[in-house]
Amino acid sequence: MGDLLAQLTASSANGPADPRQCSPSQTGEDEIGACYPTALLRVSFFAHARDPRGRAWEGSWDSLKRGLARTFQPAAGNPGGDPKRSMPAICGAFFPPGVNRGRDTALGVSILLLDFDNERPEPIPGEFYPDPRTGEPSSRPKTRKVRIDAPVSPGEVQAALQTAGVASYGWTTWSARPDHVKHRWVTPLSGPVPVDLWERFTEAALERLGLAGCRRGLDLGVIHNPVALAFLTGSPTPETILRFGTDGRALTIDLRALPPMPAPDLEPWQAATLAERKAARTAGERWFQPYRVGGRPVDFQSLDLASILEARGVKVGAPRAFKDGTKRRAHCPWAGEHSRGVDDDSVVLIQTPGSWPSFKCSHSGHIHLGLQDLIEWAWGRP
């Protein structure tokens, strides 16, 4: 089956894939819907989860759909770590030739990937991640994924996409079970979306597609990540795979009119952490006041967060112009706490003249973390 991926990705050098190269899928359902969108999509394919550098692919929605309609198997020897992560994967973004996958390197995103895992994190009672500085338990609970009470069904998504008049292709994923349905959908975009606008674009897309009510079942971390990998169709029991689709247009959203990001959905323990800090602020406590250099208060405006992280072995990307300062991608010092331990360039560091620098990790368990947490991690509490 490995040569199927090769076939799927070999067309990049010469433009779109020729659908006639593709044999019918094993499930015989590669003719779902007529293909309205005609614009060329640019995406990337990866051999498995640990494959750093994808193969660029450019083609029509029609030819992409034919690829998605195939059934794949994990690569031999589990190079991705386990069978599921050894499956070939698609990334909705495209990159310059010879460059590894990363938010910093992506040139744009051509498709919307909707992952309905119908799960939510639940804290494990009494288990907390250790504070990396002291080894003592932190306030961040270890979590496990549990099924939500009202899973989003494929029929619900299909009806919404149909009403929206948007083209799509969907399938049940590797870990789907009869009692826990999990499905993934791909929708073509009418034009590539810049990575910096991606999070806001996806929020506007959920509204536009009538899927705001289905947020409960979505893996929002995956959707907000412009360079997330989505494994192609496969299952330990391939005969149980279900496929879905809608006819329609590519999704079009005016990028000049994107609403600002809504406030993040905080877990109860995150809300509690923030409430504690707010109470301390109200009581007149200032977390930054005890930090001193040579007896004087620290000038936080001139703090170089990149070098603080780099000095502690955390990878930091090159600075890019942002407003009148700079913005950098970085890895997260607490990457081990991300779901599945994903260590990616999920952190944004912003330094602008006249303001304190900011630290933000986009993983859902870390959206409440900021400069204070980074300083406490790096310097400890005075």
Q: In what order do the strands lie in the sheet with 320-322?
A: 320-322, 325-330, 347-351, 358-361
- Min dist. Cβ of residue 349 to Zn ion (A): 13
- Min dist. Cβ of residue 143 to Zn ion (A): 13
Asked if residue 363 binds Zn ion (CB under 5 A), the reply is: yes
Q: Using CB under 5 A, which of the segments 141-149, 161-169, 243-251, 364-372 binds Zn ion? A: 364-372
Convert 127-153 to b/e letters by CB count within 10 Å (16 or more is b).
Answer: eebebeeeeeebebbebeeebeeebbe
- Min dist. Cβ of residue 339 to Zn ion (A): 10
Q: How many helices (H) and strands (E) does the chain have?
A: 8, 17
**Alpha carbons 335 and 315: distance in angstroms, whole number:** 11
Per CB under 5 A, the list member of 332, 348, 371, 375 interacting with Zn ion is 332
- Of 252 and 372, CB closest to Zn ion: 372
Q: Using CB under 5 A, which of the segments 3-11, 144-152, 185-193, 365-373 binds Zn ion? A: 365-373
- Of 106 and 332, CB closest to Zn ion: 332
Asked if residue 349 binds Zn ion (CB under 5 A), the reply is: no
- Of 160 and 348, CB closest to Zn ion: 348
Binding residues for Zn ion restricted to 209-228, rule: CB under 5 A: none
- Min dist. Cβ of residue 34 to Zn ion (A): 43
Per CB under 5 A, the list member of 85, 101, 366, 368 interacting with Zn ion is 366
Number of residues located near Zn ion, criterion CB under 5 A:
4
List the x/- string, 102-131, binding to Zn ion by CB under 5 A: ------------------------------
- Of 8 and 361, CB closest to Zn ion: 361
CA 113, distance to chain mean position in Å, is 9
**Alpha carbons 309 and 317: distance in angstroms, whole number:** 11
Asked if residue 361 binds Zn ion (CB under 5 A), the reply is: yes
Asked if residue 17 binds Zn ion (CB under 5 A), the reply is: no
Question: What would the DSSP string read from start to end of 261-297?
Answer: PPPP---HHHHHHHHHHHHHHHTT--TTTT-EETTEE
- Min dist. Cβ of residue 367 to Zn ion (A): 9
* Closest to 357 in 3D by CA, of 325, 329, 335, 380: 325
Q: Burial of 252 by CB count in 10 Å (0-12 exposed, 13-18 middle, 19+ buried)?
A: exposed
Asked if residue 348 binds Zn ion (CB under 5 A), the reply is: no
Q: Using CB under 5 A, which of the segments 178-186, 213-221, 350-358, 361-369 binds Zn ion? A: 361-369
**Alpha carbons 28 and 15: distance in angstroms, whole number:** 26
- Can you say whether the dihedral through the CA atoms of 208, 209, 213, 218 is positive or negative? negative
- Of 232 and 374, CB closest to Zn ion: 374
How far apart, in Å, do the first and last CA atoms of the chain sit? 58
**Which value, to the nearest 10 degrees, does the dihedral of the CA atoms of residues 313, 124, 85, 331 take?**
-20
**Alpha carbons 28 and 70: distance in angstroms, whole number:** 9
- Min dist. Cβ of residue 126 to Zn ion (A): 23
Name the site residues for Zn ion (rule: CB under 5 A).
Answer: 332, 361, 363, 366
